[in-house]
Amino acid sequence: MNPVALFCRNCGRGLTEEEKSAAGTVYCSSCAPAFKAAAAPPPLPSSPAGGVPNPSVSPGLAFLLGLLPGVGAIYNGQYAKGLTHAFIFGMFVTAMERMHGGEPLVALVMSGFYFYMPFEAYHTAKKRQMGEPVDELSSLFKIGGSPDAFPWGPVAIIGAGVVFLLNNLDVIHFHQIIKFWPLALIVLGVIQLRQRISGRANSGMEGRP
């Protein structure tokens, strides 16, 4: 029996020097395949779901067009998303004009959104270039996401709709709400706190597009 060089990390079996160099890992030959499969990154999305890479798609052009609200998404063939982007941008401009006291916040969020659009178009174009299928409203709403994840997208839309409706019907005006914008920071903090405390195990899966 050869001297044991190391022990398999999974099952604890002793590994000899030859076995170690043959497997190339810290797992024994019976455990290595499973762990390699688990550790290996998912295969590059070169052609999942039968998609064909499309080299004529230019992410750079998508980025440039994305500087015009909505046009980047239209370049990617996502007309509904382009419309939504243009609409949201228009809402920001309107809010900017009508709001009294909340302009710095609106300006910040608006510029963030303005630069979000070209980058989003760039990444979507990149996906299309790789042949990955893109949803009409991809990265706006994760419709096919895990069913138990909280549906932030739709809830945000409904919330925005309710706020605008209350304002337009003269029930609660923007300037009465905008005073409480730091509440958003608190909510964000609480959400993160909850994730850090409870969801430690699957924190790596959060934020996957």
Which residues form the interface with other proteins (CB under 8 A)? 49, 133, 135, 138, 141-145, 147, 151, 153-165, 168-169
Residue type, 17: E
CB of 56 to other proteins, least distance (A): 23
Q: Residue 136 is encoded by which pair of tokens?
A: 């009409």
Residue pair 59/126 in contact (Cβ under 8 Å)? The answer is yes
- Best CA proximity match to 174, nearest among 185, 187, 188, 160: 160
Q: Which is nearer to other proteins, 160 or 193 (CB)?
A: 160
CB of 144 to other proteins, least distance (A): 5
Spatial distance between the Cα atoms of 209 and 192, rounded to a whole number of angstroms: 18
CB of 152 to other proteins, least distance (A): 11
- Best CA proximity match to 140, nearest among 90, 194, 87, 195: 87
Q: Which is nearer to other proteins, 6 or 157 (CB)?
A: 157
Q: Which is nearer to other proteins, 68 or 91 (CB)?
A: 91
Q: Which is nearer to other proteins, 2 or 46 (CB)?
A: 46
Spatial distance between the Cα atoms of 180 and 109, rounded to a whole number of angstroms: 16
Spatial distance between the Cα atoms of 51 and 45, rounded to a whole number of angstroms: 9
